């Protein structure tokens, strides 16, 4: 007969050692898995925030490329600050508004001093109308006046939201910083905002969103950038004139140096603004670019107003000496 097999098995100490080693390996595996899941979740949030920001930037640029310029006031932006822009663009036709012109506002709220996720956003507000004449602008062009973002006093058209959140985790104003403007402009105007009188000069706008769903990870901030040339920009005509005294109290006024940057045809209007001004009425009825005027000897202030085919006007004045 063969001898009986040994059946001693493992001792208690060996079993405890094996269980301890298994527990260490299991905990290490769980720790790695937890770290992976955490990093994967953070990466997913970053990608989602970047995608939303990229779509938001594309929307802003698309609206800028379809910008609509008021004919009598050729400015494509109605408000321009580092974190707040307002302009008219093309939307959906409605009623007598057959072109579908609408006014849009894009802004980044002022963040709290400690940082608040509810304020780290890009906000859009849209004003539409059904009349042929554009509605009054509810948002001032004066950059010194602060407008809440979003403006909860704004009343949209029926069925439309007061505002829409286009992107989350926008860090441009994180903890009230002023170092990272969301919007900048080609003319390098005042960093605190573009004066209303400077708005017609703007022809290019840059959009730069800083996105980071985890602000504590400063290295995780991503910049989403784009720019748009305002191709629909309408330029005001240039008004210039010369004069030639002909003697015997006469003078020839020549507006030949006036021109339209957009190659529009120009009409002319003359006026004598001196007081008193002999023959002022005869100058006022002149509508040509070349005018012979007989006011008598003296020095007069003459104003020339040139108007292009769209109704945009420019006026210049000059002292004219007649012998």
Query: Which among 144, 228, 236, 141 has a CA at the least distance from the CA of 186?
Result: 228
Q: What is the pLDDT of residues 203-212, one digit of tens each?
A: 889 999 999 9
Q: How far apart are CA 175 and CA 53, in angstroms?
A: 19
Hey, where are the domains in the chain?
Answer: 42-229, 242-322
Query: Which among 291, 305, 301 has a CA at the least distance from the CA of 252?
Result: 291
Q: What is the pLDDT of residue 77?
A: 87
Q: What is the pLDDT of residues 66-104, one digit of tens each?
A: 887 665 555 678 899 999 999 999 889 999 999 899 999
Q: What is the pLDDT of residues 220-249, one digit of tens each?
A: 899 999 999 887 667 788 999 999 999 999
**Average pLDDT of the chain?**
87
Cis peptide before 113 (omega within 30 of 0): no
pLDDT at 303 over 90: yes
For the segment 258-267, the average pLDDT, to the nearest whole number, is 88
Q: What is the pLDDT of residues 97-152, one digit of tens each?
A: 998 999 999 999 999 999 999 999 999 999 999 999 889 999 998 888 999 999 99
Q: How far apart are CA 42 and CA 39, in angstroms?
A: 5
Q: Homologous superfamily of 242-322 in CATH?
A: Immunoglobulins (2.60.40.10)
Cis peptide before 125 (omega within 30 of 0): no
């Amino acid at each position: 007969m063969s001898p009986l097999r040994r059946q001693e098995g493992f001792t208690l100490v060996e079993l405890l050692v094996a269980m301890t080693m298994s527990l260490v390996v299991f905990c290490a595996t769980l720790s790695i898995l937890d770290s992976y899941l955490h990093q994967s979740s953070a990466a997913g949030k970053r990608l989602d925030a970047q995608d939303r920001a990229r779509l938001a930037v594309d929307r802003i640029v698309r609206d800028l490329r379809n910008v609509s310029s008021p004919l009598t006031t050729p400015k494509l932006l109605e408000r321009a600050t580092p974190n707040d822009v307002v302009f008219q663009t093309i939307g959906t036709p409605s009623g007598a508004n057959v072109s579908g012109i609408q006014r849009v506002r894009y802004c980044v709220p002022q963040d709290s001093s400690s940082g608040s996720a509810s304020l780290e956003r890009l906000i859009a507000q849209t004003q539409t109308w059904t009349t042929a004449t554009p509605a009054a602008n509810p948002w001032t062009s004066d950059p010194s006046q602060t407008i809440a973002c979003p403006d909860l006093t704004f009343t949209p058209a029926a069925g439309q939201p007061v505002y829409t959140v286009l992107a989350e985790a926008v860090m441009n104003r994180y903890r009230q910083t002023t170092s990272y403007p969301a919007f900048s402009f080609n003319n390098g105007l005042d960093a605190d905002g573009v004066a209303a009188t400077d708005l017609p000069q703007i022809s290019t706008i840059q959009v730069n969103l800083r996105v980071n769903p985890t602000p504590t990870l400063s290295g995780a901030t991503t910049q989403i950038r784009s720019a748009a040339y305002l191709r629909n920009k309408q330029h005001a005509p240039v008004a210039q004139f010369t004069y030639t005294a002909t003697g015997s109290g006469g003078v020839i006024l020549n507006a030949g140096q006036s021109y339209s940057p957009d190659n529009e045809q120009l009409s002319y209007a003359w006026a004598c603004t001196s007081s008193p001004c002999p023959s002022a009425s005869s100058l006022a009825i002149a509508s040509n670019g070349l005018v012979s005027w007989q006011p008598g000897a003296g020095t007069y202030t003459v104003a020339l107003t040139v108007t292009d085919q769209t109704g945009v006007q420019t006026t210049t004045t000059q002292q004219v000496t007649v012998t």
